[in-house]
């Protein structure tokens, strides 16, 4: 017998595009920076990487990309865009 649940996955959005992940309250995803980050993170995912960022409430936002246990620090979102271009991801 197969059981099906209708719960949303962590990080899934609601009908207005806001994240429903309980841990994302500190990083709203409906502002311009959040939308740009989410779009860029999707491009990294298509290229087989993950993209993360520090909490804006902690100070200057920094980024890092990871793949197969390797991590690359990216100081700005523009550096993240350049790295995505280097790994052949969609911009």
Cβ atoms of 54 and 47 closer than 8 Å: no
Closest alpha carbon to 50 in 25, 74, 28: 74
65 phi-psi bin (left φ>0, alpha ψ -120 to 50, beta other) = beta
Cα–Cα distance between 5 and 82 in angstroms, integer? 39
Query: Are the C-beta atoms of 35 and 27 separated by less than 8 Å?
Result: no
The predicted pLDDT at position 34 comes to 83
Mean pLDDT score, 33-45: 91
69-90 pLDDT per residue, tens? 999 999 999 999 999 999 988 8
Arithmetic mean of pLDDT, 19-47: 70
Average pLDDT in the 8-29 region?
A: 47
Q: Residue 86 to residues 33, 44, 69, 83: CA-CA distances in angstroms? A: 22, 11, 18, 5
């Amino acid at each position: 017998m197969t059981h099906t649940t209708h719960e949303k996955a962590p990080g899934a959005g609601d009908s207005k595009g806001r994240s429903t992940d309980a841990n994302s309250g500190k990083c709203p995803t409906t502002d311009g920076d959040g939308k740009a980050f989410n779009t860029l993170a999707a491009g990294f995912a298509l290229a087989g990487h993950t993209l993360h960022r520090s909490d804006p409430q902690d100070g200057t936002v920094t980024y890092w990309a990871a793949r197969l246990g390797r991590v690359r620090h990216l100081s700005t979102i523009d550096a993240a865009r350049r790295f995505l271009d280097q790994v052949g991801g969609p911009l």
